[in-house]
Structure 1
Amino acid sequence: MTPAVNLLKKARVAFQVHQYHHEPGVDSYGAEAARELGVDPSRVFKTLLVALDNSPKQLAVAIVPVDGTLNLKAVGEALKCKKVAMADALEAQRATGYLVGGISPLGQKKRLPTLIDSSAEQLESLFISGGKRGLDIELAPSDLARLTGARFAPIGRG
């Protein structure tokens, strides 16, 4: 299994693994997951990495619903940074140990500052990448926050 699944097992957290056929060349991994799993896209969250204060090596994790976008200004406010930009894909892969399209917020090589969009707080469970394309994990938002050291903040746009 993936480091994300291993972490959840070790933490003895309630979760479910959902596999689906990933179609190579798909544009939106999150939308594909929602469609293939038959889940409302507002419950499927994507893991995005951002670079802080113009430093490609100073990264943070932002988790937002796949049917929305990330508000970089809100991330900057939540993390008290003046400048926030999307991280380079290769830097994101190096920092997390996962490939783009399968980056899980769980089981990353290094714990990074993490924010979860506040829309997740009202959900009983949400879906995140399980660490590879075609694999999602369903768990409680509170468990995700606890295991990643994340804070909830209004960082998404619907």
Structure 2
Amino acid sequence: MSGEVSAAHEAVDVKLYERLINDLEAGGARYRLIDHEPEGRTELVCALRGHDVSEAAKCLVVMVKTGKKRTRYVLAVVPGDARLDLRAVKELLEGSYVAFAGREKAEELAGSVSGTVLPFSYHPELELIADPALLRVPELYFNAARLDRSIALATDDYVRLAAPRLAPITTAS
């Protein structure tokens, strides 16, 4: 059974990877592909790619209750060396409760497995919010919906193509 689930995730990830590359090409984005050993943990993959952790786009799926029967999901994108401030996300969405989404729900909404989540939302129920601190670096690095390949993308092209809601969602260091 786990082999079937893994194969299903891999098929979804390939489609998502291809969609991302097609979107970057169609949008005239400036990007580079970086092949490396399979790794999804931010600090370790940054070392493999050869850049500072602050240049990584760390992607986290968050669940926010905004009413008794209303739940919203957020794809929060923060610098790799920052911590997501769940309270800031809750306040931004005027929620009553906030938590990281469960792994299964996060992977369903993101379209890829943990460690490969893109800083782009391709799911209508996944609102994209990025911390303005991401804009401090000229290039963002992230796994490209797979553990063995990353993308270095010009930050201004990321903002133009992904069109995230920009809001401070990290804790003070």
Q: Shorter-chain-normalised TM-score: which range?
A: 0.7 to 0.9
Q: How far, CA to CA, are the matches of 1:131 and 1:56 in structure 2?
A: 29
Q: How far, CA to CA, are the matches of 2:125 and 2:143 in structure 1?
A: 16
1:30 and 2:42 are equivalent in the alignment: yes
> How far 1:70 moved relative to its partner?
0.7
Please give the secondary structure, in 1, of the residue aligned with 2:161. helix
Q: Are the equivalent residues in 2 in contact too, given 1:62–1:116 (CA < 8 A)? A: yes
Q: Are the equivalent residues in 1 in contact too, given 2:55–2:79 (CA < 8 A)? A: yes
1:49 and 2:49 are equivalent in the alignment: no
Based on CA coordinates, which of the two structures has the bigger radius of gyration?
2
Q: How far, CA to CA, are the matches of 1:31 and 1:5 in structure 2?
A: 24
Q: How far, CA to CA, are the matches of 2:56 and 2:38 in structure 1?
A: 15
> How far 1:128 moved relative to its partner?
2.0
Alignment of 1:107-146 (within 5 A): 108-110=122-124, 112-146=126-160
> How far 1:146 moved relative to its partner?
2.8
| Structure 1 alignment gaps of length 5 or more | none
What is aligned with 1:21? 37
What is aligned with 2:20? 4
Please give the secondary structure, in 2, of the residue aligned with 1:67. coil
Please give the secondary structure, in 2, of the residue aligned with 1:144. helix
What is aligned with 1:40? 52
AA at the equivalent of 1:35? A
Two-structure CA RMSD over aligned residues (Å) = 2.2
AA at the equivalent of 1:13? A
Q: 1:107 to 1:49 in 2, by over 3 A?
A: closer
Q: How far, CA to CA, are the matches of 2:37 and 2:128 in structure 1?
A: 28
Q: How far, CA to CA, are the matches of 1:5 and 1:101 in structure 2?
A: 18
> How far 1:57 moved relative to its partner?
5.8
Higher helix share: 2
1:23-75: CA deviation from partner (whole Å, max 9, x where unpaired):
5xxxx611121110110000012110000117796311101122221100111
Which range moves more in the overlay, 140-149 or 53-62?
53-62
> How far 1:106 moved relative to its partner?
2.7
| Structure 2 alignment gaps of length 5 or more | 1-13
What is aligned with 2:74? 60
